[in-house]
Structures are given as structure tokens and as C-alpha cells.
Amino acid sequence: DSGVTQTPKHLITATGQRVTLRCSPRSGDLSVYWYQQSLDQGLQFLIQYYNGEERAKGNILERFSAQQFPDLHSELNLSSLELGDSALYFCASSPSLVDDREKLFFGSGTQLSVL
């Protein structure tokens, strides 16, 4: 168990809908990352938050947004869903110590199926 909690584990929805994925980082970790794993694109970095502020953006679509709350949990919002958004979405967190910031601990993921 990595200590990173993601809910829900599975999500089935229809095209055009909006969903919210939730992540609780490991205790004490200030950074949260979102990744998408799909058959077509592989594992891709989407976005990073550090202590409530957006730190870096990757290949995140404009239909997707995220935020990190004061209690450090994070939510990834996916809207106007398309079939191609079906994927496994990972959240990860990292320690705040300078030497360990790049060590990512991943949650077990949310499997999104858009029908």
C-alpha cells in the first residue's frame, strides 16, 4: 500500500458527461500529480499541484481541470467526456524533502470507461 488513496476505483459514464476523480496523498506529502494511462498514449503526465498551487502542466486537455484543497487532497475534473478519454487515471504524491521530491508514490488508479 503506497498510502495514496484514489476514489472511485471504477467509473462508467456516457459521452458528454462530467466526472470527478478524487485523490488523498500520503500523509505529509505536499505535491500531487495526475497521470493518464491509455493504450494509445501510454503513461502521460497531466498536472502537478504543490501545497494548493498549480506547479506544472503536461498534456492536459482544456476539458480537464484539477485543484488541490487546503487539506491537500486533490480532484481531477473531466468534462464533455469522449470515448477517447477512457483510461486509467493515476494520482501520485511525493515527499517534500529536497532529495526525495522526485520519488513518486502512486495510488491504485481510477479506471474510467466512457460509453
Partner 1 sequence: AQTVTQSQPEMSVQEAETVTLSCTYDTSESDYYLFWYKQPPSRQMILVIRQEAYKQQNATENRFSVNFQKAAKSFSLKISDSQLGDAAMYFCAYDMNYGGSQGNLIFGKGTKLSVKP
Shortest CB 3 distance to partner 1, Å: 12
Our finding on whether 89 is near partner 1 (CB under 8 A) is: no
C-beta separation of 34 from 91 below 8 A = yes
Binding string, residues 47-86; x marks residues near partner 1 by CB under 8 A: -x-x----xx-x----------------------------
Pick from 109, 112, 113, 114 the residue near partner 1 by CB under 8 A. 109
Evaluate the CA torsion angle 55, 60, 3, 21 in order and state its sign: positive
Inter-residue contact 24 to 73 (CB < 8 Å): yes
Give the shortest CB-91-to-partner 1 separation in angstroms: 11
- Residue identified by cell 470527478 is 20
Cell matching residue 33: 500529480
Binding site for partner 1 (CB under 8 A): 2, 31, 33, 35, 42-45, 48, 50, 55-56, 58, 88, 90, 92, 94, 101-106, 108-109, 111
